[in-house]
Amino acid sequence: MDRLLHLFLINNMNMAQRNSFVDDVRINDIFYASNVHIGDSTFLNAYNRVFAVQREKQIYYGYEADYENFANFKEPIPIPPISETLRFNRYNANPNIHVSHVRIIGLSTSAIFHIGSTKKVYLESRVHHTRQLEERSRKPSESVQR
């Protein structure tokens, strides 16, 4: 599988002024609709669908199933409304956020590693696991004892 690193550099978009400084970032693996984002953004959106088939016999046909046949890929995910009034005061004595080292083993399935500010983030990952096991016939001596 190819390891893709999507690096987006976006200019500051009039958000609360905080500066992020990271001296060193090390990431082993990035895959399945995941990315690294450096810079400020207004909206981040990542979406991934996974149909995982596990078989006792490793037989693969290339086209295992249609996503649309499974409800968990079609149903909307309800996002509850925020009905409370939120009030807070923020005082940033130092507008700089400084991190020495970040070590990440892996980013997968619509994950985003972000250095910067974002107004809104929507990440969605839908996974359907299917196990296909071989049929086993029972012999009379293998009956279940109670």
pLDDT in tens, 109-126: 888 999 998 888 888 888
Query: Could you tell me if residue 89 is inside a domain?
Result: no
Query: Could you tell me if residue 123 is inside a domain?
Result: yes
Query: Could you tell me if residue 32 is inside a domain?
Result: yes
Query: Could you tell me if residue 141 is inside a domain?
Result: no
Query: Could you tell me if residue 110 is inside a domain?
Result: yes
Query: Could you tell me if residue 18 is inside a domain?
Result: yes
Strands (E), 31-111: 35-39, 41-55, 96-107
Domain count, the chain: 1
Q: Where do the H-state alpha helices sit in the chain?
A: 71-74
Cα atoms in the 13 Å half-sphere on the side-chain side of 59: 5
Q: How many CB atoms lie within 10 A of CB 112?
A: 19
Chain mean position to CA 112: 7
Average pLDDT over residues 17-23: 88
Residue 117 to residue 99: CA distance in whole angstroms: 15
pLDDT in tens, 3-13: 333 333 333 34
User: Which domain range does residue 50 map to?
Assistant: 7-77+95-132
